[in-house]
Amino acid sequence: MKQYFYEKESQNSTLREQSLLARLPAFISYAKQECQHYSKTFEHIDADKITSREMLAQLPITRKSDFKNIQSSNAPLGGLNAKSANIGRIFQSPGPINDPENTSDDWWRMGQAFYAAGFRTGDVVQNCLSYHLTPGGFILDSGARACGCVVIPAGPGQTEQQLDVIENLNPQGYCGTPSFLKILLDKASENHRNISSITKALVTGEALPEALRAEFNAAGIDTLQAYASADVGLIGFESTAGKGLIIAEDLLVEIVRPGTLEPVNDGEIGEVVVTSFNEDYPLIRFATGDLSAVKPGISACGRTNMCIKGWMGRADQTTKVKGMFVHAEQIEQVRKDYPHITKMRLSVTQVNYNDQMNLQCELDTVAYSDADTRGLIDSVNISLKKITKLNGTIELVAVGSLADDGKVIDDLRAIG
């Protein structure tokens, strides 16, 4: 049995770097020719000169936070897709942000992460990321199948039915968010259900606290995490618990000072910026909005690519709740429906490793009856769910009680 998903995972790191940098000039020329976005943003760039990280760092950055505006002015993909792209699906994540997929095998390159987490040919895997509108379910599905696994396309929710499926089909693996695996474990324990067939998990979409990983390990589930996005696919993955994320093959990753083009020094925290050599959907200096830092050294597993320390927060106010991005613009969209509400702030916390949203709304309720107040709370709750696709609680607070600090989303979850 092969040691790695790709044999080049153990190649000399200098040769890997040289190989990727050598691909840049031709790929940038391709993107300028094929993609409306890059023909404009790289109009005055001489692609032949972009042969080093120093030269790459002079190129404009395309930020995920700008995708909504880029795509609204040039629907559906903002001209980021190649004219010759073979697109089989288009997803729409909250924002809204549209993402394409070429339905060829392992287009998202997730097989590498599943293989490092111990998934092998013949394993049955219960996939609990959503297949509805957002690409998460398909991203994991393709990666598991690339390792020869059989996938149960379960999606999230319906906990009792999920437990029925586990007892009936005896999957060896789980993939999805760590919080939903926790829900399954707790419900199984509460109702004396047998899910002991699951002995491995690849989790993504949320940070994985080490205390929660310890709970999974105690339940006999070896759990590693992958870092992926709906735009790039796999960015990094664990091969050993808690030792950092190994960057996926065929990517150039920079850690950049937020709001600038400038890479930080190794070890400093900055924004994760990715260059992906995807001919259907070229992403060159794509700023994810996630914060991380380079982790010195290479993995003890023998994989030689650079490592990053994992998710260390957001460079903007966008946050991820239950695997779904929530944007400040969405909260403002809710507020605009209620002209008497002067300010809103969404707080995100965790209870028993499950994400919770609470929307505080500044409102003078002196003239409101109890029935008026309840009706308004219910109405705002419906709007919040409609716009973010997530459930939350609504709290009416006195005018002037929210800090005047510009925050619309306040992520109060502990990191790590």
pLDDT digits (tens, 9 = 90+) for 11-33: 999 999 999 999 999 999 999 99
Q: What is the pLDDT of residue 413?
A: 87
Q: Is the pLDDT of residue 74 over 80?
A: yes
Q: 321: part of which helix (H) or strand (E)? A: strand 319-321
Tokens for 240, please give them: 């050993």
> Averaged over 180-207, what is the pLDDT?
96
Pick from 208, 279, 194, 203: nearest CA to 242? 208
Tokens for 322, please give them: 């239950």
Q: What is the pLDDT of residue 406?
A: 65
416 — pLDDT class (breaks 50, 70, 90) = low
Pick from 367, 370, 324, 365: nearest CA to 348? 324
Q: Is the pLDDT of residue 5 over 90?
A: yes
Q: 89: part of which helix (H) or strand (E)? A: strand 89-93
Q: What is the pLDDT of residue 300?
A: 92
Q: What's the distance, Cα to Cα, between the start and end of the chain in Å?
A: 34
**pLDDT one-digit tens code per residue, 270-304:** 999 999 999 999 999 999 999 999 999 889 999 99
Q: What is the pLDDT of residue 155?
A: 96
Average pLDDT, the chain: 94
Asked whether 81 and 280 are in contact (CB, 8 A), the reply is yes
> Averaged over 137-141, what is the pLDDT?
97
Tokens for 107, please give them: 């287009």
Q: Is the pLDDT of residue 248 over 80?
A: yes
Asked whether 353 and 100 are in contact (CB, 8 A), the reply is no
Pick from 314, 136, 129, 298: nearest CA to 230? 136
Helix (H, G, I), strand (E, B) or coil at 166: helix
Q: Is the pLDDT of residue 59 over 90?
A: yes
Pick from 395, 405, 313, 406: nearest CA to 356? 395
Give the Cα-Cα-Cα angle 100, 204, 267 (nearest 5 degrees): 100
Q: What is the pLDDT of residue 411?
A: 87
What is the spatial distance between Cα 142 and Cα 164, in angstroms, rounded to a whole number?
A: 24
More confident residue, 332 or 106: 106
Q: What is the pLDDT of residue 247?
A: 98
What is the spatial distance between Cα 319 and Cα 45, in angstroms, rounded to a whole number?
A: 33
Q: Is the pLDDT of residue 34 over 90?
A: yes
pLDDT above 90 covers a percentage of the chain that reads: 81
pTM above 0.85, yes or no: no
C-alpha dist (Å) from residue 94 to 202, 385, 406: 24, 11, 22
**pLDDT one-digit tens code per residue, 301-323:** 999 999 999 888 887 778 889 88
What is the spatial distance between Cα 262 and Cα 352, in angstroms, rounded to a whole number?
A: 39
**Range with the lowest mean pLDDT among 121-130, 284-293, 314-323, 391-400?**
314-323
Q: Is the pLDDT of residue 197 over 70?
A: yes
**DSSP letter (8 states) at residue 413:** P
173 — pLDDT class (breaks 50, 70, 90) = very high
What number of other Cβ atoms are within 10 A of residue 268's Cβ?
11
Q: Where are the beta strands (DSSP E) in 238-304?
A: 245-247, 251-256, 270-276, 283-292, 294-295
User: Letter for the amino acid at 150?
Assistant: V
Pick from 119, 122, 166, 165: nearest CA to 143? 119
Q: Is the pLDDT of residue 404 over 90?
A: no
User: Letter for the amino acid at 23?
Assistant: R
Q: 26: part of which helix (H) or strand (E)? A: helix 13-34
Q: Which residues pair with 134 in a beta bridge?
A: none
> Averaged over 328-353, what is the pLDDT?
89
